[in-house]
Structure 1
Amino acid sequence: MKTCRLCGSATLASVVDLGATPPCERILTEAELDAPEPAYPLHLRVCTSCWLAQIPPLITPEETFTEYAYFSSYSTSWVEHARRFVDGLALDRDAFVVEVASNDGYLLQHVVERGVRCLGVEPSENVGKAARERGVPTRTAFLTPETGAAVRAEHGPASVVVANNVYAHIPDIVGFTQGLRALVADDGRVSIEVQHLLTLIELNQYDTIYHEHFQYYSVAAAQRALATGGLALVDVELLPTHGGSIRLWAAPAEHAGEPSQAVLDVLGREKAAGLTELSGYAEFAARVGKVRRDLLRFLIDAADQGKKVVGYGAPGKGNTLLNHCGIRPDLLPYTVDMNPYKHGKYTPGARIPILPPERIAEDRPDYVLILPWNLREELTAQLSYVHEWGGRLVFPIPTLEMV
């Protein structure tokens, strides 16, 4: 990658190099275990002109999202988060809500329940089918300016456009943002949720760097990105989801007005943290190395002591962690996941078996390594039964912790 995908500058500085890993959601069937598996460099850089953090676009969204392994509704806390968001919209019966990357209808199902017109635009055929089966109207497509215009022509402009955890997944930031503008009414709003680069850096959340995430946003960089498509940032909320996210509220630039005090406050926090100068990124790679060493030391010591450690979850972030640390089935014999789509398959690269959650109670391991650490509260409650036999939960990030 020689130039910034947002501003075109050639001034890209290294933040952390995680080696080469396979695409994080390309889980393997047993038949694929003896076949070659491609791996791609995973090197985060930051543009010193616009301060967008980014990785090279080595795989296409089409390769990842046409058939997708992630179903949002398997996280009860995420579904509840979506319900609260919809409650806060105060929609009237004439509203029209569009969600881009609507997945299995986890959010729009709450709009349907209120009798409000809505549409999901979801590129993955399998998860879009699941949304339609739960009664959520869903169009199978990637968002482009042309798709946005076609939806608007058929259904009219949207009063609210939602884009949760997708703004990082599209290498064509400008085209995607233009698509959002094509969808939204002149007096409408766009809501975007995306992980906050500030918490990623401060809390060592390097496992959220993977090939699906082409860029990593500060509010300052997001403000610039929105402007390329004719949208202006008007407000921001700091959220606990995914370890620390931002909810960006945007409006068509010609109708937006001045940004809120919250926007100015978060921009100030980012500047104070050094995100608009190289010093803010200088120690990140060293802290990443310590996370890796601490986790490996724990797993090796546990194996030497005859203790059994198994995993919980098979999220994308978990695959970055497993592959960067070089963890294989000798240290982690299996992981479990709520999603039946993954059962009987294997994690990419590390090739760790993925089993149903019931296996933990059967085997009564000494430790359960939590790979989706961002769901800490939800999973601590779900896995409370592990303490019945003296087992402990292990959280690898921001620092190794056993509870």
Structure 2
Amino acid sequence: MSAAAVAEQDGRTGPLERPAGRTCRLCGSNQLRRFLDLGVVPRCELFLTPEAVAAPDVSYPLQVWVCERCLLVQLPPLFTPEETFTDYPYFSSYSTSRVEQARTLVEDAVRRLGLGLDSFVVEVGSNDGYLLQHLVRRWIRCLGIEPSVNVGETAREKGAPTFTEFLTAETGALVRAIHGPADLVIANYVYGDVPDVTDFTRGLRSLVADDGWASIEVQHLLTLVERTEFDTIYHEHFQYFTLLTGQRALATGGLSVVDVELVDIRGGAIRIWARPTECAMEPSVRVTEVLAAEEAAGLHVARGHDGFAEAVSRVRDDLVSFLIEARRAGKKVVGYGASGNGNTLLNYCGVRPDLLAYTVDRNPYKHGRYTPGTRIPVHAPERIAADRPDYVLVLPWNLRAELLDQLSYVREWGGKLVFPIPELEVVSPAPADRPLEHPVF
């Protein structure tokens, strides 16, 4: 019997291919089912110097799998975190909205947990101190654990105490022995970036006081699927979580989920509140509601993940068609943002400088460099006002509200903004943000 016939007989509609020799990093099963294949692409954060542009790219398969036993959606570990995060080009503070969201989280945690001058807070993956600075201003004792040497140094320059290291069970125990247990441990958008999720979780538990809390923010697989946010998939992200798989992962280190919040950040996230299992209370009604929504969407069974690839290809077709039509009409299109998710989008869609003349970014580290794979030059944001392009393709579309404000000046010459996800939308950066009919030439 053919594979297709077997799939039809047992009710599975998705691909049956399984990666040879691969096992699930959470439960050890070898029953991994293909979720999405984005081709072979270079690592998304390796921006090229002018000298490196003529050299060939080193590329890797960008394939995503779902475990049929525990349902964790995951990428194979093609290289170690040390190869990505030791010297890192991403600085959180360049996003004003992320700094503001961090301030709000700190204020909420202070109210929720009664944090004060005698409290201790640890942030794992603390980047450049974008969040720790709000704790420092409140005179709350805090510590960041950040593996990137260059980024951690920037945090220390801001007055945010930072320990340059990867979190493991061993380093978690070391930090606890030196600084004491933490009343709160924060891990924002780092839980998906570790290939050994069990060891990392044990490190979290080592940090948390026996009656303490952990706040873990991750992109929600439910919104990733519903909004076709495939560009948030790249090699440095090793797994993507539903609340269900988040529960299962945290349980490996002795942490239990007691509450969850839906957060409108990065295209849709969940903020998981967990406590050591021995002191955890019954989960809140919000936990029950989010689990029910995931189940209704089919994400609590392996075959419910099928069909995502078709939706992704429609996004690609719409964007490429728009860019080709714009070029034929003699219109100039440039990009805004040089982010990891933008590089996934550009590489998967096959966009080159003939369709996107250049992109800009607020991070000076990237100026004068080129995007990996696609070789699109990166300039300072001022280039847009100087050139007055017809369209600006917004690559970090998940910062829509922030960028509509930052790019409001584009309307001075009749320019338009293009948002590629969740579906192609061309808008005028006017206060009303009114949609325009596509295409507009």
What TM-score comes out, normalization by structure 2 length? 0.91
Larger Rg: 2
CA offsets 1:297-319 (integer angstroms, 9 cap, x no match) = 00011011100000000110000
1:225 aligns with: 249
What TM-score comes out, normalization by structure 1 length? 0.99
Using the alignment, how far apart are the partners of 2:280 and 2:397 within structure 1? 37
- 2:229 maps to 1:205: yes
1:176 aligned residue (188, 200, 210): 200
1:142 aligns with: 166
Secondary structure of the equivalent of 1:369? strand
Alignment of 1:109-120 (within 5 A): 109-120=133-144
CA offsets 1:7-39 (integer angstroms, 9 cap, x no match) = 111111111110011111111111111222211
Using the alignment, how far apart are the partners of 2:233 and 2:59 within structure 1? 15
Contact 2:67 2:302 in 1 (8 A): no
Using the alignment, how far apart are the partners of 1:32 and 1:234 within structure 2? 49
- Could you list the structure 1 runs, at least 4 aligned residues long, displaced by more than 6 angstroms after superposition: none
Identity of aligned residues (%): 65
2:359 aligns with: 335
Once the 2 structures are TM-superposed, how far is the Cα of residue 279 of structure 1 from its aligned partner? 4.0
> Across the two proteins, how many residue pairs are aligned to each other?
403
Alignment of 1:228-377 (within 5 A): 228-377=252-401
Contact 1:42 1:211 in 2 (8 A): yes
1:85 aligned residue (105, 113, 116): 105
Alignment of 1:49-88 (within 5 A): 49-88=69-108
Contact 1:162 1:190 in 2 (8 A): yes
Once the 2 structures are TM-superposed, how far is the Cα of residue 45 of structure 1 from its aligned partner? 1.0
Using the alignment, how far apart are the partners of 1:401 and 1:15 within structure 2? 26
1:39 aligned residue (59, 72, 88): 59
Unpaired segments ≥5 residues, structure 1: none
Once the 2 structures are TM-superposed, how far is the Cα of residue 360 of structure 1 from its aligned partner? 0.3
Using the alignment, how far apart are the partners of 1:67 and 1:217 within structure 2? 26
Using the alignment, how far apart are the partners of 1:289 and 1:89 within structure 2? 40
Once the 2 structures are TM-superposed, how far is the Cα of residue 80 of structure 1 from its aligned partner? 0.3
Contact 1:48 1:276 in 2 (8 A): no
Unpaired segments ≥5 residues, structure 2: 1-18, 428-441
Once the 2 structures are TM-superposed, how far is the Cα of residue 257 of structure 1 from its aligned partner? 2.0
Using the alignment, how far apart are the partners of 2:304 and 2:394 within structure 1? 28
CA offsets 1:169-218 (integer angstroms, 9 cap, x no match) = 00100000000000010011000001000000111000001001100000
Contact 1:192 1:249 in 2 (8 A): yes
Using the alignment, how far apart are the partners of 2:136 and 2:324 within structure 1? 50
Once the 2 structures are TM-superposed, how far is the Cα of residue 334 of structure 1 from its aligned partner? 0.4
